[in-house]
Chain A
Amino acid sequence: MIVDGSEGSLKQFLRTLPPVDQVGAEGRAAMLATRSIKTTSKNWAIDLAIRMVDLTTLEGADTPGKVRALCAKAVRPDPSDPTVPSVGAICVYNDMVKIARTELDNNGGQNIPVAAVSTAFPSGRASMEVKIRDTKDALENGAAEIDMVIDRGAFLSGRLGEVFDEIKAIKEVCGERAHLKVILETGELVTLDNVRKASYLAMLAGADFIKTSTGKVAPAATAPVVLVMLEAVRDYYKETGIRIGVKPAGGIRTTKDAMKQLVLVNETAGPEWLTPSLFRIGASALLNDLLMQRMKMRDGYYASPNYVTLD
């Protein structure tokens, strides 16, 4: 699976990938959604899902106060129950990275990484120079994970070399300092064939994670899309021995949604991917629903929503 990064070699390689049959992929995803997760397996999966959450705020209205509150929540999602694990990461815009890092460090969240959305998120419509500067800025402020967007315009017009080069350049900026998550924005790529091709393109260019969406475009992390991406990392591992992570983001709001994601992982990429270092869920509202369900499993009844903290 060696490509030299030239336009020609990429095109040639991506053409060798088997096509995706959309009806079949949707059927498989729908079948897996019927799995019934109860009792002990649900307890286990809820805690795993909490550890996989990239707790996210990506709003124009974000303030230092909002970000600090989110950090406190990330460290101790349920202040009344110390057995609840911390989340996987905090995900914010670049200018909030430093605030988040400091807040986490001062409040027992030293092990929680801060992920920054860089490269002119969410559209990616900026010059390469700006994108590199954007990424460096995030790293300098303490980001340990970079969530970059690909240039969907370049991908859709067939300039695959450009997409590849951008990912490669950002990966070089990240170096050993940060994990690189590559956002495909599958809602703009539209077809599952494109999702498969973009997944391979990102993996070949050096992505540590492939991520579905920015959360700003619908549809986002649909089950068939995540299925195809999980197949891609599974097959890539078989060819190269390297395990790439997957991060669905956008539209995963309930415990039930999260359980479906974990079933998809379990029966597609395999149980090796059921760890926060290889599977993350980009979400904000999801965490509270996980906490509510966790209380329900523990106490046997649903508590008032007021027992779960806002942000």
Chain B
Amino acid sequence: MNERQVSKFEYAPAPESTSIVNIKSEYGLFINGKFIAPKAGKRFVTINPATEEVLSKVAYADLADVNLAVNAARSAFTKTWSKMPPAERGKYLFRIARILQERAREFAVLETLDNGKPIRESRDTDIPLAAAHFFYHAGWADKLSHAGMGANPKPIGVVGQIIPWNFPLLMLAWKIAPALATGNTVVLKPAETTPLTALLFAEVCQQAGLPAGVVNIITGDGVTGSHLVNHPGIDKIAFTGSTGVGKAIARAIADTNKSATLELGGKAANIVFEDAAIDEAVEGIVNGIFFNQGHVCCAGSRLLVQENVQDEVIEKLKRRMSLIRIGNPLDKNTDLGAINSAAQLARIREISDSGDLEGAERWSPECELPKAGFWYPPTIFTGVSQSHRIARDEIFGPVLSVLTFRTPQEAIEKANNTPYGLSAGVWSDKGSRILWTAQRLRAGVIWTNTFNKFDATSPFGGYKESGWGREGGRHGLAGYLKAGN
């Protein structure tokens, strides 16, 4: 057959306008309903990881500021929030949810600027899910006697919340919505590299007329976080982040009365059986590891593919990967955005390079990476064995390790052979096999014939070193309530 001249369908740039967001040159700390300057006057910059341009300067909270925030939260808890009729609390949550929807585009653009994720994802996933989380928990506020914690459950008190940089606003919603619905007040620290949507959320709290001190947002780094964890005025810590920090928090609160929920790391197995719908499984593999640049604790970072369909799956996967559009995260056609920080990029490089050294075979599609900013190409390693570091350590980047199995039993053994247990995926057209597999996987969330789907009604959390407790659904309320009579 004659090879014709093939003209390429180049999508012209389709950037989302940034005019909708108004980023201030500097931000204070949101304490007791107001933005105030940090006591010591220290500030640090937050940058756009896709360009390395400085977006703004945010306040650095040290111990004195943490004291103020915790005191404000305590006062609001005692005087206002815990005494308010539950239906009234619900009204505030409904109001916040509606404002998030009304200002969705503003939040989406700001999230993409500060985090580096594609606008398609912040627009279609992060912000709608954050609003949904507030709507869902607004409904719970006056129905807590049905939460499974007795007829009259009580809030815990003042909750210190520390969230990561991968889904900044969504993780904020996962933390603040259930805490407020159950009558607690919060001091929340967003991640050092992604504070801006949390600060915009503080404005939403003002707009919604939320009583002062119910939500306090302090910006800073790990030291700020440890002040919060160690603060005697805190009743509970809710943390999402790395397993290493999670263990440190568990140690720090070991001889206190504080409770904790921890959402930690993962190294999820995504299991593709021979009878799977291969084209859709390939989509699921791509979505599992390249969604949000692989900065997902529940990412399907270990592909376990049945050996007799390995060639077909890998060939189709490579073809599909070569279609991934990398570049300006504000472009509506971008599929893979920027790595969130120089530090994370270094970590991805370091662990991935170990894959080369240990003998796995690396492959990435031909792609041009932008010069400025932090970027890593979509990458797969084939020929990976269980003992390789890339099969064991969480990379938290767009890097997939491919392993094979011969029998369903072997798939289960390999999938469970990890200190983590956050999520897993099963791809099969056979219902009995899916159920058999799901029953044996030791993971908190198991997706079948899909991946990375989230819903406020569904509890999320891990087994083993992937964490304590659940977030979302009725189960998630338990972390914010004390059983009542």
Contact = CB atoms under 8 A, between A and B. Distances in A.
A2 to B, nearest CB: 19
A271 B279 CA distance: 19
Contacts of B450: 23-24, 27
Contact of B7 (A40, A242, A267, A271): A271
A21 B449 contact: yes
A21 B280 contact: yes
B332 interface: yes
Interface in B1-60: 1, 4, 6-14
A275 B3 CA distance: 13
B120 interface: yes
Contacts of B280: 20-21, 23-25, 27-28
Interface string A129-147: 0000000000000000000
B400 interface: no
The binding surface of chain A is classed by DSSP as: helix
Contact of B9 (A28, A39, A242, A262): A262
Interface in A203-241: 231, 241
B124 interface: yes
A271 B332 contact: no
A272 interface: yes
Nearest to B3: A272
A296 to B, nearest CB: 16
Given A19-B277, A24-B449, A241-B1, A34 B124 contact: yes
Interface in A259-280: 262-263, 266-267, 271-272, 274-275
B278 A23 contact: no
A41 interface: yes
A40 B12 contact: yes
A28 B8 CA distance: 21
A302 interface: no
A267 B4 contact: no
A266 B277 contact: no
Contacts of B9: 41, 44-45, 262-263, 266, 271, 274
A66 interface: no
Best-buried of B9, B284, B429 by chain A (most CB within 10 Å): B9
B283 A27 contact: yes
Contacts of B284: 24
B323 interface: yes
A35 B333 contact: yes
A21 B6 contact: no
A156 interface: no
B276 interface: yes
A18 interface: yes
A68 interface: no
A37 B11 contact: yes
The binding surface of chain B is classed by DSSP as: loop
A231 B450 CA distance: 19
Contacts of A275: 4
Interface in B427-485: 429, 449-450
Contacts of B7: 44, 271, 274
Nearest to B453: A27
Contact of A36 (B278, B283, B332): B332
A42 B1 CA distance: 30
A19 B12 contact: no
B1 A271 contact: no
A247 interface: no
Nearest to B275: A19
Contacts of A20: 277, 279-280
A36 B11 contact: yes
Contacts of A274: 6-7, 9
A42 B283 contact: no
Given A34-B120, A35-B333, A241-B1, A18 B277 contact: yes
Contacts of B323: 267
A20 B279 CA distance: 7
Given A23-B449, A34-B120, A36-B333, A271 B8 contact: yes
A19 B278 CA distance: 7
Question: What 6 A-B pairs have minimum CB-CB distances, sorted nearest first?
Answer: A24-B280, A21-B277, A36-B14, A21-B280, A36-B332, A18-B278
Interface of B: 1, 4, 6-14, 120, 124, 275-281, 283-284, 323, 332-333, 429, 449-450
12 contacts: A21-B449, A24-B277, A24-B279, A34-B332, A35-B332, A35-B333, A37-B12, A38-B14, A40-B12, A241-B1, A242-B1, A272-B4
Given A28-B280, A34-B124, 14 more contacts: A18-B276, A18-B278, A19-B275, A19-B429, A20-B277, A21-B429, A24-B280, A24-B284, A40-B10, A40-B12, A41-B10, A44-B9, A272-B4, A274-B6
